[in-house]
Amino acid sequence: MSPSFTSRRRTLIGAAALLATLAGGLSIAPAALAQDGVTRVGFVYVGPVGDHGWTYRHDLGRQAIEQQFGDRVETTFVESVAEGADAERVIRNLAADGHDLIFTTSFGFMNPTIKVARDFPDVKFEHATGYKRGDNVSTYSARFYEGRAVLGTMAGMMTKTNTVGYIGSFPIPEVVRGINAFTIAMRKVNPEAEVKVVWVNSWYDPGKEADAAKTLIDQGVDLITQHTDSPAPLQVAQERGVLGFGQASDMASFAPESQLTSIIDDWDAYYVSRVQAVMDGSWESQDVWYGIEDGMVAFPDYGPNVPDDVAEAAELVKEGIVSGTLHPFQGPIMDQAGNEVVAEGDVLGDDVLLGMDYYVEGVQGALPK
């Protein structure tokens, strides 16, 4: 190779290295600048914003942040991120991109969040419904089971066939907790009533959820409730003249006559407060589990088919929970085998609730492990 070639190559390589360093430097600089002026908040969603359920409510929380802080925040969201390896890639991208606070809104994002959090100690993470924390990872969840207790009470009073259908997503403690709280409350007002559970093994699959609802109705339930994210089951209920409860948001537009009420997840206040904490510099890793009292679990207006005495009973349950006189997991509680797992007067603590892996009496079938 002639000398001129070699020296030209060296010049080119040197120039390229210089440009790369400059580019690298320039890309870090804007991120640092962002800290001073604008707080950047990222959101990772497990489903589409258009699911009109779980993710929809989280996105409302994101919009609340934008409304509250205006120009002082910049929000980004990534939707329909599958739980697992791809989630880590998305979270990592958001962290590397200069976000200050990242909300990961599904249980299955837990391990990816922890992993990425270790590599980015200056970024703060908020993981929904998980149980692993770090110095820069907070967890938050809502006591949905309090909402289930209200729903169960209404179901017990309104079912005529004494069989109620429950569409479950995955047999994880959160879902089992909901089933149990619902069943306990239902049998308090109606000891004959029982719950049939069908698992669709997905958080969001309108077709399968509709099939599950049809199956349960074909098998004789006259009321359905769900722990999945789309309005499909309620739509089937509306079509078949069966009553039901919405999930995560008000689904009355899909089932104007069928929906008795719904559990609404209201993340707005919590999200705004956490962004404020990041701006103030007061953000710390914490674990919160808020319920009806803090407004995280809310309800829409009662549907047209709810009689006054049922609405009254539901309000009494809500008041009891808020005042602390009523706990959804207050003894005596029997498991499916008939053994007493909670004695009269005792209350199940949070740690037991978090790992709940058995059905209470009144639920048909065995819990898949």
Partner 1 sequence: MSETWVLALLTIVTAATPLVYAGIGELVVERAGVLNLGLEGLLLGGAVAAFAVAHLSGSATLGILAGLFAGVLLSALFAFLTLTLQSSQVATGLALTIFGIGLSALIGQPLVGIAFAGLPSLAVPGLSGIPVLGALLFQHDVLVYGSFALVGSVAWFLSRSRAGLVLRAVGDSPEAAHALGYPVIRVRYAATLFGGACAGVGGAYLSLVYTPMWVENMSAGRGWIALALVVFAIWQPGRLLFGAYLFGGISILQLHGQAMGLAVPSQLMSMLPYATTILVLVLISRDGGRIRRNAPASIGRPFHPTL
CB of 218 to partner 1, least distance (A): 4
CB of 246 to partner 1, least distance (A): 12
Residue with Cβ nearer partner 1 (202 or 276): 202
Amino acid at the residue 328: P
Which tokens in the block code for residue 93? 């991208």
C-alpha 62/C-alpha 75 separation (Å) is 7
CB of 336 to partner 1, least distance (A): 11
Place of tokens 């409350």: 185
C-alpha triplet 58, 108, 322: angle, nearest 5°: 50
Quick one: CA dihedral 341, 145, 230, 109, positive or negative?
negative
CB of 214 to partner 1, least distance (A): 5
Residues 6+ apart with CB under 8 A from 362: 183, 184, 186, 187, 193, 194, 195
Decide if 164 contacts 193 (C-beta within 8 A).
Answer: yes
Residue with Cβ nearer partner 1 (207 or 241): 207
Name the burial class of residue 178, with classes exposed (0-12), middle (13-18) and buried (19+) by CB atoms within 10 angstroms of its CB: buried
CB of 208 to partner 1, least distance (A): 7
CB of 282 to partner 1, least distance (A): 37
Residue with Cβ nearer partner 1 (56 or 103): 56
Residue with Cβ nearer partner 1 (6 or 364): 364
Residues 6+ apart with CB under 8 A from 353: 145, 173, 177, 329
Residue with Cβ nearer partner 1 (220 or 332): 220
Residue with Cβ nearer partner 1 (163 or 330): 163
Residues contributing to the site for partner 1 (CB under 8 A): 48, 50-52, 80, 165, 171, 196-202, 205-208, 210-212, 214-216, 218-220, 230-232, 235-236, 239, 253-254, 364-366, 368-369
C-alpha triplet 46, 96, 135: angle, nearest 5°: 80
CB of 330 to partner 1, least distance (A): 27
Residue with Cβ nearer partner 1 (39 or 238): 238
> What are the CA-CA distances from residue 347 to residues 189, 324, 332, 367 (Å)?
19, 11, 9, 23
Cα of first residue to Cα of last residue in the chain, in angstroms, is 69
